[in-house]
């Protein structure tokens, strides 16, 4: 796969555009759809999204709550209506520590990466320049480009 690191990307490049992202979602199961949607919307890595628990969502599922090292309060990211609608389809958690994506939660990063590669294989190599790391980088750049941090409270 192509190495999509910050050193070989410029601001105009992206390994996946909006249409391609939505096509890729069509190959994903429900958990991976949620992980990828949250990653894209909030600029989080796929592993970070896979590790989210029910306490990371406000009760109305309209805010993502994150603890960040060296920050004393929770960062609150408002979520868009489509993402909130998706999150409302998730089973109601039994405890605050219930994983949002239980099938992916306990998987090591290498396992998540392998699952993501299997997802890409189902696309008949339509995303030959995309890999686990480049998608994370793309999500991070989207957050930076749209300056989502300024919307976090």
pLDDT tens digits for range 43-60: 888 888 899 999 999 988
| Residue pair 153/76 in contact by the 8 Å Cβ criterion | yes
Domain CATH number, residue 95: 1.10.443.10
Residue 106 within a domain: yes
User: Rounded to the nearest 5°, which phi and psi values hold at 98?
Assistant: -70, 125
CA distance 153 to 148: 10
| Residue pair 25/33 in contact by the 8 Å Cβ criterion | yes
Residue 133 within a domain: yes
Tokens read off for 41: 């919307």
CA distance 11 to 58: 33
Residue 111 within a domain: yes
Structural domain boundaries enclosing 134:
6-151
Is 60 exceeded by the pLDDT of residue 1?
no
Residue 13 within a domain: yes
Residue 80 within a domain: yes
Enter the pTM of the model: 0.74
Residue 75 within a domain: yes
Is 70 exceeded by the pLDDT of residue 9?
no
Count of structural domains, the chain: 1
What is the predicted pLDDT for the residue at 8?
Answer: 40
Task: Give just the sign of the alpha carbon dihedral 25, 27, 29, 32.
Answer: negative
Residue 143 within a domain: yes
Residue 1 within a domain: no
Q: Where are the beta strands (DSSP E) in the chain?
A: 63-66, 75-78
């Amino acid at each position: 796969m192509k190495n999509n690191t910050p050193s070989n990307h410029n601001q105009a490049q992206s390994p996946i555009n909006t249409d391609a992202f939505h096509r890729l979602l069509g190959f994903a199961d429900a958990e991976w759809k949620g992980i990828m949607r949250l990653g894209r919307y909030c600029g989080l890595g796929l592993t970070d999204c896979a590790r989210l628990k029910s306490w990371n969502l406000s009760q109305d599922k309209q805010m993502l709550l994150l603890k960040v090292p060296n920050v004393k309060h929770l960062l609150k990211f408002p979520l868009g209506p489509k993402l909130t609608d998706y999150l409302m389809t998730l089973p109601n958690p039994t405890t605050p520590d219930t994983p949002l994506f239980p099938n992916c939660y306990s998987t090591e990063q290498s396992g998540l990466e392998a699952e993501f590669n299997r997802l890409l294989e189902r696309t008949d190599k339509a995303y030959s320049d995309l890999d686990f790391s480049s998608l994370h980088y793309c999500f991070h750049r989207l957050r930076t480009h749209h300056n989502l941090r300024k919307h976090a409270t």
